[in-house]
Amino acid sequence: MVAPAKAAGALLATSPYASRRQTKVPGWAGLTAWDVLFNNLSLGLFLVTALGMLVRPAWFASTATAAYIVAFVLVLVDLSLLVVDLGDPPRFTHMLRVAKRESPMSVGTWSLSGYAALLFLVCIVSVAGWEDVTRVLAAVTLIPAAGGVLYKGVLFSATSQAGWRASRWLGALMAESAVLVGAALLLAILVLSHQGGGEGASAVRAALAVLLVLQIATALEVRRDVPGRYGPLAGLVVWIGVLAVGIVVPLELLLLGNLFQIVAALLVVAAAPVLRYALVFLPRDGRKEPS
Amino acid sequence: MTRDVQDAVTALSQGERPEPPRGPIAGLFYGFARGARPVDEPACAFFTDTSICIGCKACEVACKQWNQLPVDDVRWSGDSYDNTFELSATSWRHVKFIEDFPAIAGPAAGALPAPALDDIEAILAEPRTARWLMLSDQCKHCDDAPCHDACPSGAIVYTEYEGVFIQSDICVGCSSCVAACPFGVITRSEIDGHAHKCTMCLDRLRDGLPPACAQACPTGSIAFGEHREMKEQARERLLAVRERGYDGARLYGDEPSSAYTELHNMYLLLDEPQAYGLPEQPVSPRLVRLTGDYLRAGAVLAVAVAVVVVLLLTGGF
């Protein structure tokens, strides 16, 4: 055997495998994006409502029950999407055979199952009018709810997939975004129940404005980590969609007072699927994976 | 047929089966029951020496045949003789072909000199301007496998030989393992919705046989044995190949890095790993990213919750 007079590494330019994606993209697509959305809507709404009931029960007493029920319906939709995505209903329960903290999917399964079960009880005692029991149960439910919020972004970022793996703040963005859309949804519920001018709405509106600013910071951080994952035009559309429609315009509307707060809240919720689609589809942009 | 096998066949023919759960309570806990842990065996590993791979695909065929895997959509990829494209749920071995031939400059460049067929010394002395690299790819059976970490159902386990094995009947098809694998090995089957990959021929190992691919390899390019012995063999072979002038030769997966553990499927490569479609430095998501990502998410969630609480206490602005 005689070595060829070729420099090592010269093959990188010509080998067809050097430019191919080294990982396989999981089949997480549209259903997953909606799953993330409903997860965030339910958990965010519950978190903000429960915090409101713990800190200022008088301000939210008349809307909390409705908010809890909406959160429960949303988590049922989320769980249904997860079951459909797996393709076979018993498969979800199979994930409850083991608990693994190193598996974000396992953390999420246990968190969501615990959250949904406890939220069901919260709804029942809230409808029954047992306020003290509701507050205690809601406080306990905050624990699995926090787990449900935290795992979602980490499920994507702690992988080997291009786009997700580069984004160290993806989990942070999704966690913050969950509270943001939850606050927007609660504000919408408050307005629709004719409490848009109350102290509760005022506090939630202020929180929403601050969370929108925080969203800009986390979104910029994610954008910095994964530059150019989408083409120039698609990237621009996504960026304008998320930044302008979902953040800047609602922020301005909120600063105008409570006149347009329902529009601002609905814009935040309407822009939420765009952000989630953009994040879920990050590894599917068809570009060469960076080496 | 040995006596044990005869006994087993007789028992099965007489209808002996594992006892099903009796009653609702037993049925409830049946899914959580664990079988007896197998007796530990010496850790095993593959050593694939790509310098003597001839690209015959006997390993691919043997794997398909032994594991009864269906034929994929076989067509030419345009990349030399690669006609299976990639590892999949039904292709657990994939032979890659890399042609490193000089560019043909056209008629003006003149014809290549004819080889001196009657002079062996002259043939051996001819400058080598081309090379053809082959690599038989498969699961790396990582020492600390990201797919094993990511699996939420416990379907992915380590065998008594320290291979990574997917129990497809338990797999829920969530694709967490697909997302976690830095080598692009695992695939979710479109047929049954479960994840599949190389099993290290666990059934053969338990019967004292080597994996089908290793047995079928006609050049000894795919070696299989105890991990320690395979490492020694790989290092000896690397020295031999380097002595013959292949300065770019290297071992892949024989040593752990700060970001990844060692592999139970080592390769002797003649060029950069990326040229073979392997990551230069694989990264374990759990070792490198998981904790930090949770902490960042937790910190930002705490800030968001603090914002809500403070504004609830102050009544907004």
> In this model, does residue A8 exceed pLDDT 70?
no
| CA–CA distance, A132 with B232 (Å, rounded to integer) | 69
Residue-wise DSSP of A253-275: HHHT-TTSHHHHHHHHHHHHHHH
Cα B106 off chain centre by: 41
The amino acid sitting at A159 is T
The number of domains in chain A is 1
Least Cα separation, residue B241 to chain A (angstroms): 9
Nearest to A162 by CA among A286, A34, A31, A78: A286
The amino acid sitting at A131 is E
Chain A, window 69-88: residues with a beta carbon less than 8 angstroms from a chain B beta carbon: 86-88
Per-residue burial over A266-284, b if 16 or more Cβ lie within 10 Å, else e, is: bbbbebbbbbbbbbbbbbe
CATH number at residue A190: 1.20.1630.10
Chain A, window 175-214: residues with a beta carbon less than 8 angstroms from a chain B beta carbon: 175-176, 179-180, 183, 199, 202-207, 210-211, 214
> Running DSSP on this structure, what letter comes out for residue A93?
H
Q: Do A88 and B193 touch (CB under 8 A)?
A: yes
C-alpha angle with apex B262: B256 to B265, nearest 5 degrees? 150
B44-49/B265-269 β-pairing: parallel
Distances from the Cα of A174 to the Cα of A37, A104, A113, A169, A215, angstroms = 10, 14, 19, 9, 9
Report yes or no: A89 at the B interface, CB cutoff 8 Å: no
Q: How confident is the model at residue A248 (pLDDT cuts 50, 70, 90)?
A: confident
Report yes or no: A143 at the B interface, CB cutoff 8 Å: no
Residue A13: inside a domain, yes or no? Answer: no
Q: Do B245 and A10 touch (CB under 8 A)?
A: no
Report yes or no: A13 at the B interface, CB cutoff 8 Å: no
Beta pairing partners, B164: B158
Mutate to test the interface with A, among B97, B238, B250, B307 (most CBs of A within 10 A): B307
**Run of H or E residues at B225:** strand B222-226
Dihedral angle, C-alpha A256, A259, A264, A270, nearest 10 °? -160
| CA–CA distance, A149 with A45 (Å, rounded to integer) | 11
Report yes or no: A224 at the B interface, CB cutoff 8 Å: no
In sign, the C-alpha dihedral spanning B242, B247, B248, B254 is positive
Chain A, window 246-285: residues with a beta carbon less than 8 angstroms from a chain B beta carbon: none
pLDDT at B8: 52
CA-nearest residue to A9 within chain B is B272
Taking each helix axis from N to C end, the angle separating A57-86 and A170-192, rounded to the nearest 10 degrees, works out to 120
pLDDT at B77: 80
Q: Do A165 and B294 touch (CB under 8 A)?
A: no
Q: Do A18 and B275 touch (CB under 8 A)?
A: yes
Residue A291: inside a domain, yes or no? Answer: no
Report yes or no: B260 at the A interface, CB cutoff 8 Å: no
Residue A9: inside a domain, yes or no? Answer: no
Report yes or no: B123 at the A interface, CB cutoff 8 Å: no
Assigned token pair, B44 = 């095993």
pLDDT at B1: 44
Residue A289: inside a domain, yes or no? Answer: no
B82, B298, B314 member nearest A150 (Cβ) = B298
CB B183 within 8 A of CB B37: no
| CA–CA distance, B184 with A33 (Å, rounded to integer) | 23
Assigned token pair, B106 = 């056209």
Report yes or no: B188 at the A interface, CB cutoff 8 Å: yes
Reduced to 3 states (helix: H, G, I; strand: E, B; else coil), residue B117 is coil
pLDDT at B129: 73
Residue with the two structure tokens 């895997």: B69
Chain B residues within 8 A of A23 when measuring between CB atoms: 179, 181-184
Reduced to 3 states (helix: H, G, I; strand: E, B; else coil), residue A140 is helix
Report yes or no: B256 at the A interface, CB cutoff 8 Å: no
| CA–CA distance, B22 with B45 (Å, rounded to integer) | 42
B32, B172, B292 member nearest A91 (Cβ) = B172
Q: Do A11 and B286 touch (CB under 8 A)?
A: no
CB A119 within 8 A of CB B173: no
Residue with the two structure tokens 């330019």: A13
Report yes or no: B293 at the A interface, CB cutoff 8 Å: yes
Residue A12: inside a domain, yes or no? Answer: no
CB A32 within 8 A of CB A277: no
Residue A112: inside a domain, yes or no? Answer: yes
What separation, in Å, do the N-terminal and C-terminal C-alpha atoms of chain B show?
Answer: 85
Mutate to test the interface with B, among A2, A12, A15, A143 (most CBs of B within 10 A): A15
Q: Do B298 and A175 touch (CB under 8 A)?
A: yes
Phi, psi of B70 (to 5 degrees): -70, 160
Report yes or no: A160 at the B interface, CB cutoff 8 Å: yes
Q: Do A26 and B175 touch (CB under 8 A)?
A: yes
Which residue did the predictor score with more confidence, A289 or A157?
Answer: A157
- Written as tens digits, the pLDDT of chain B (317 aa) is 455 555 554 554 444 455 677 777 777 677 677 777 888 899 999 999 999 999 999 999 999 999 999 988 778 888 888 988 899 999 999 999 998 876 655 554 455 566 666 778 777 777 777 788 999 999 999 999 999 999 999 999 999 999 999 998 889 999 999 999 999 999 999 899 999 999 999 999 999 999 999 999 999 999 999 999 999 999 999 999 999 988 889 999 999 999 999 999 999 999 999 999 999 999 999 999 999 999 999 999 999 999 999 999 998 77
pLDDT at A250: 85
Beta pairing partners, A164: none
pLDDT at A9: 62
The range of the structural domain enclosing residue A31 comes to 26-284
Phi, psi of B132 (to 5 degrees): -130, 110
The least confident of A26-30, A226-230, B256-260 is A226-230
pLDDT at A30: 92
Q: For the segment A112-157, what is each residue's pLDDT rounded down to a tens digit?
A: 999 999 999 999 999 999 999 999 999 999 999 999 999 999 999 9
Q: For the segment A66-110, what is each residue's pLDDT rounded down to a tens digit?
A: 999 999 999 999 999 999 988 888 888 889 889 999 999 999 999
Residue with the two structure tokens 């769980």: A79
CA-nearest residue to B88 within chain A is A24
Residue A6: inside a domain, yes or no? Answer: no
| CA–CA distance, A43 with A147 (Å, rounded to integer) | 10
CB B116 within 8 A of CB B123: yes
Residue A11: inside a domain, yes or no? Answer: no
